[in-house]
Amino acid sequence: MIKGIFFNSKNIFQSNSKLFQVVCTYQYRKKTIPVPYPFQERFDVLDGQYLVPKPPLKPLSAYNVFTLMYMRIIRENYPNEPTSVILKKLSSLWNDDEFMIDHKLEVLNLIKYQNYQYYNEMLYYKKIYAKPKLPLSSFQIYLKERYIQVKEELQTSDIATITQHVTYEWSQLTEEQKQEYQQKYKDNIVYFKTAISEYDNTFRIPMKQYKNIYNLFVIEQYQGKKIKFKSLEEHQKFTKQLQVMFNQLTPQEKQFYEQKKIQLDEQINQEAEKFKKYFDLSEQDYQDIQKLVKSQSKIKDINEDPQIAFM
């Protein structure tokens, strides 16, 4: 035990101790590169498409709480020792049952409560802000249902063996037997489509306004089409074809795109204002968000067609 440390810190574990309160309410976040935009202190961007509040901070472990509380005290006792030595002394003190018998339990109980609180906060956070996931297929539903039973029957924990066995069982089922699981999948898909639509309407970052009518024209050519290019030259050739097609438009056709751009820009402005109000964003925050997701933006057609990558 470190001489004099118990005397110097005998009140540190008292519930009314200021240091105790500060340390035990300290929360942990992994060290990252400083955020380039202020809004990132409050929000995360998911998949380059969605803006959600940052999740609850994970509480410190009991040992880290203890380390923070005693680091200053041990440094006062050993002012010339390097940090590595100080940490070793802290570790020795933490494992000293004689010293910690009256204090470790109190810290552990507090951390247990904080972890319980964090767990409940995360449940609430995921319920509201987690992006809905695609439902399991009919086979995956069957696999999940049979997994534990097969594990006990085969007396093995090998995932590959269990999956192979269940796959064989599935192949032996009649169409009538599979119908039950296929119906569950269809029901889950209906629920998923509703959930993802609500999620999109709330958290999807609005697209930027179209730069010009040519930009709108190009996007329409990609809309609903899965176009893949085998080489850069092929892509450049397709781009030149689009330029030729656009130049061949009549004045009336270009006027149509002018009117459509005005309508779409107005719609985008309304979505942006609603979005900024919902998240309490400043104009600068909103511009920063658009800068961050520029390279990953997704184009959403006015007719709610499937999204395509923005070129």
pLDDT of residue 310: 32
Under 8 Å between Cβ of 281 and 39: yes
Parse the chain into domains and list their residue ranges.
Answer: 5-129, 138-203, 213-309
pLDDT of residue 35: 65
Tell me the H-state helices in the chain. Answer: 5-8, 18-24, 62-77, 83-94, 97-100, 104-129, 138-154, 159-172, 175-203, 213-222, 232-247, 251-279, 283-292
pLDDT of residue 98: 75
Under 8 Å between Cβ of 264 and 213: no
- Which among 162, 257, 270, 275 is positioned nearest to 216, based on CA atoms? 257
pLDDT of residue 40: 85
pLDDT of residue 145: 92
One-letter identity of residue 23: V
Residues shown for the chain = 311
pLDDT of residue 224: 65
pLDDT along the chain (311 residues), means of 10: 36 46 48 69 88 89 82 84 88 79 73 88 93 93 92 90 93 92 94 94 88 85 74 84 89 90 90 92 90 58 34 34
pLDDT of residue 73: 82
Other CB atoms within 10 Å distance of the CB of residue 46: 15
pLDDT of residue 13: 44
